[in-house]
Structure formats: C-alpha cells, structure tokens
Amino acid sequence: MDVLSFPFICFVNETGNLVLTSQNKSVVWSANLSKEVRTPVVLQLLDSGNLVLRGERDCGSEIYLWQSFDYPSDTLLPGIKLGWDLKTGLERRITSWKSPDDPFPGNFIWALERQDNPESIFWKGSKKLTRSGPWNGLRFSASSLRQNPDFNFSFVSNEDELYYTFDLIDKAVFSRMVMNQTLYLRQRFIWNKATKSWDLNVNVPRDLCFKLKSRGYVDWSQGCVRDKSLNYSRQDGFIKFTAMKLPDATLSWVSKSMNLNECREKCIDNSSCMAYTNSDIRGEGSGCAMWFGELIDMRDFADGGQDLYIRMSASELVDQGAKGEPRTEIVVIVISTAALLAVVIAAGHLVHKRRRNIVEKTENNRETNEVQNMDLELPLFELATIANATDNFSINNKLGERGFGPVYKGTLVDGQEIAVKRLSKISEQGLEELNNEVILFSKLQHRNLVKLLGCCIQGEETLLIYEFMPNKSLNSFIFGPEYASDGQFSIKSDVFSFGILLLKTISGKKNRGFYHSDKKLNLIGHAKHALSDFDVGQRDCVASAKATRLLGGQEIYQTRLFIKHA
C-alpha cells in the first residue's frame, strides 16, 4: 500500500526536535538535531518557501536550528544554496524523485563538485551526464553569454562555504527548478498568475547530443588526438582557442593571486600541465587555472565559453604560425614591421606619383607645343570656351561615349551648335592618332561629311570640335528605302549600308541612280569592277586608273586620303 495513504503527524517534541510520525506513533522522519534544545522553539514557513525551526527569541534573525533549504529534494528555489557548508560538511544537492508520484530519490542528480576548480555536474547514477564548466567570475563557462533579465546568479567559494544560488530580480515573480527523472532534464518553471499554473521556461541541457540513444550518457572514449607528440619541456608552446567549453576540471588547479603570464610560466615548467587560462574573466582577467593529464569534454561554445591556451609541440606551433602564448611580443613586432613597411610603401608611392606627375606634365606640355606647332590649318579653341559651351561638360549635354571617350553637345557664344569629342584619360589614342584624324578631317571636306571646326589641347585635355548634326538627321540618307528595294532588309544590311555610304559619300552618286553606260552596272557593281586590281600592297594605297575614271578629280584625291589615314 502507498505510504502516502497513511495519515502522518508533524510536530516538535519535548526535546525541541521536529519529527514526523505515523498513525501508530512510530517516527518516520526527524530533523535529527545534533543537540538538545532547552529554549522554546518555533516552526515557521517563510515567504521564500523555507520551512525553519528556530528559537523563540531568534525570530527575525537568520539563526536556524534546522531549515528545509538544507535538504532541497528535487527542487531548487530562489535562495537555496546548491553546494557545501565546509564547516559542517553538509552537502546540498538536488535529486529527482523516482517518479512524478513517488518522492523516493531517483538517480538524476545535480551537484556542485568540491574541488580546486568547482563546477556543477548533472549525474545519471554514477556517470556524468553533462557539466557546467568552472565558474569564471561571471557565469559557468559553458553557460550562454546572454544575460537573463529575470535572475541574478551567484557563486561563493571561500573557507566556510562553496555554493551556487539564484535570486529573482522581480520579487513578484515565482520560479523553481525541478529535476525531471523521466526526461533527464532540469526544467525551470515560472508561475503564470493569469492561468494559475506553472509555465515551462527552459530545459537543461539544451544540447541534443546529450539526449541520443544512450539517453544522456556522454561517451568520452572518442575525441581529439594530437597530430604531433609533445616534448614535455619548455620547447612546447601554447595555442589560444576561443569560445571554448573548458575541460573537465577534476584534474585542475587554481590560484587566485597569479596573472596570465605567471600562469603560463608555471604551466610550461610542469610537463603534466596541458592547458591554462584565467580563473576569473571579469575586467582584464585575473587568477590562474591549469589542467593536468587528458583534456576531456571540450567543445566550441559559440554563444558562451572562454579562451583556453592548449599545450602544443614546437613543430605544431610552426605549422600554426604561432610561437606560444602570450604572444604580445610577436604581435608588437608584427604590427611595428607592418607599420614601417606601410610608411615606406606610402612614401615610395608619393615619390613615384610626384615624379609621374612631373613627367606627365612635361609630356603634356610637349604634346601641346607639338600640336600648336602643327600646320593643321584649323582654329585652336580655348578650354574655357569649350567648357562654357558644354556647361562644364555637363552630363545633361552628353551625346554618347565610345572607346576614345565621351561626346558632348555645346553651343558657342555666337549660337553655333557643336559636338565636342573629349579624349578619355584611359583611351589608347595618342598624339599620332589625333594628328591623323585632324589632318584627315581638315582636308577631307565634303558635302556629305561632318565638318571639323577645330581642336583644343590644353593640359590633360584633348578635344576635337565638330559641327553638330541632329540625331537621326542622316536616317533618310543612310537607312533609306533604296537599300531594301532590291531585296529584303535584315540586320546584315547595316554592314552592307556602311560600305554603300562610303561609296556614295566619296563619289556623290546614288546607288540606284547610277548605271555604267558600257557594262550597265550600278554603283556597287562598277566600284567592284573598277577596284578589282586595287593594289593593297602599295604603301600609299593608290587607286587604279579605273577607280580614277569612276571617281575623278577631287574624289580620287579624297579616296586616297581616306584610305591612307583611315
């Protein structure tokens, strides 16, 4: 029969001891006070949930003969100290019930390990289920970096006590942590005043790797192995790993008085020391924690963890580009060298740039002088005049752009509209190409060709000024119906039309309106026949007599010019 079905009586006996008896008055449980109490005692349930036994004269103080918070069962409430009273040897641990309706102790336990570098452990029987990592001054090292706005967590370690506890910031909030034997989870609940029920807030552990087929058992037989053996001497060094869950602290040692440099020196001198770090990370860090033997249960902890310096062989350090920790000297040397190198490079760049500017300026002046000395028979425009005409080369006046550079529309002070070809600074065209173009267009004046009005070469600017022709003004001339009348019009006609345009421009004759009297050929056919023996091997590319008879006079002169310079 269930023991809870029997009626029980709780009272304070004549010796001042708190006892629980069954119906037949046999003692089922007692507070087991170590000595007899001779003064009147009071049994009181505090607002914190702590059931206390104290002397009648001690009301209002925290002097208790006995308190339930020293025996927390499966629940941790705010104010309960998880850990040790080092003066009496009393341990406070949280132990699950055997089942939800059986308060007999289960095998799921939360305890604080009493060791040089304390950490809390979840046990499943005699096996470690998961660890919190050592306390680092702010939190357990395997805890999240995110602050919980509802709780204050505290850790105390001194000669008298070793414990962890928490308090609620908002005293109107009620919370408790319960060890769930069925799920092997520590669950935090918060009281919902509206529904008058406990809402689940968080489960621990949250890492699913602790809840696989083994139902929480951590297999530490497999793990990381060293690529290269240690020398176990000062030839070894340390490599810094960040955001790490610190190793199992069973075989670790702590000194609160040492700094990180002293910690490293002590560790490197001990061939058994495998890792070290600050024991307290508050501020700039302080204290020393060292690990000996195998490093067990480490892992990256992205939203928590801390720095850990792990011992490595000298060859491993070379491969990693490290020389051990701390690396302040190396960092200073690298930064100093990089800064010096940067200054040297910057100085060299400035000197080179200045020299290049001088050379370019000299070259520009030379080119300007050469152009000005050319017998171009063209007006030379001032840069200010062109800049004013194009509204300082405004983007709104830009007509287009090709490899040589952009073309702008402008209006001179006398009202004449112009098109300005502005040579780009990155263009491959130079003085020779400019010279050829100026000579060609200055001498090749024709009724069907755009007129070159002048040029401007000043400083880094190279400009050619043409008469302006409205957009599509040659459409009827270039893309007229005569090219499609003898066949279907297609994209290939663009290429064909360009050749026809050249013939028409040079000869002044239309394709459809011209037929040779002897051979009855149109302009295209006659040009092909007339230029069939055109000698492209001659340097001046002089046309044959047939081409002369076709084009005649000024046209053949312009043809030669066009072929030679284009």
Number of Cα atoms under 13 Å in the Cβ half of residue 522:
11
Q: Are 498 and 455 in contact (CB under 8 A)?
A: no
List all residues 6 or more positions away from 215 whose beta carbon is below 8 Å from its beta carbon.
124, 184
Q: For position 343, what pLDDT does the model report?
A: 74
Return the SS3 of 478: helix
Rounded to two decimals, what is the model's pTM? 0.55
How far is the CA of 499 from the CAs of 325, 448, 480, 483, 558, in angstroms? 77, 14, 14, 12, 16
Q: CB atoms < 10 A from the CB of 504, how many?
A: 18
Hunting for tokens 């490599």 — which residue is that? 239
User: Where is 27: in which H helix or E strand?
Assistant: strand 27-30
Residues in the chain: 566
Q: CB atoms < 10 A from the CB of 273, how many?
A: 22
Return the SS3 of 564: helix
DSSP 209: G
Rg (CA), the chain: 48
Strand blocks (E) in 66-159: 66-67, 75-76, 82-85, 90-92, 94-99, 102-112, 119-124, 127-134, 151-157
User: Where is 505: in which H helix or E strand?
Assistant: helix 493-507
Q: For position 304, what pLDDT does the model report?
A: 78
What residue type is 443 in one-letter code?
A: K
List all residues 6 or more positions away from 329 whose beta carbon is below 8 Å from its beta carbon.
none
Cα separation, 70 vs 77, whole angstroms: 11
pLDDT by 10s per residue, the chain, length 566: 344 556 788 888 888 889 999 888 899 899 888 777 877 889 999 999 999 999 888 877 888 999 999 999 999 999 999 999 999 999 999 999 999 899 999 999 999 999 999 999 999 999 999 999 999 999 998 887 677 788 899 999 999 999 999 999 998 899 999 999 999 999 999 999 999 999 999 999 865 443 333 333 344 455 677 778 898 999 999 999 998 989 999 999 999 999 999 999 999 999 999 999 999 999 999 999 999 998 988 888 777 789 999 999 988 887 665 444 444 444 455 566 667 777 778 777 777 777 776 655 555 555 555 544 555 567 889 988 999 999 988 888 888 887 678 899 999 988 999 999 888 766 555 566 666 666 666 665 555 567 888 888 887 788 888 888 876 554 444 446 544 444 444 545 555 566 666 666 666 666 655 555 555 667 677 666 666 544 444 434 444 444 444 444 444 444 444 444 44
Give the tens place of pLDDT for each residue, 42-98: 999 999 999 999 988 887 788 899 999 999 999 999 999 999 999 999 999 999 999
Give the tens place of pLDDT for each residue, 361-418: 555 555 555 544 555 567 889 988 999 999 988 888 888 887 678 899 999 988 999 9
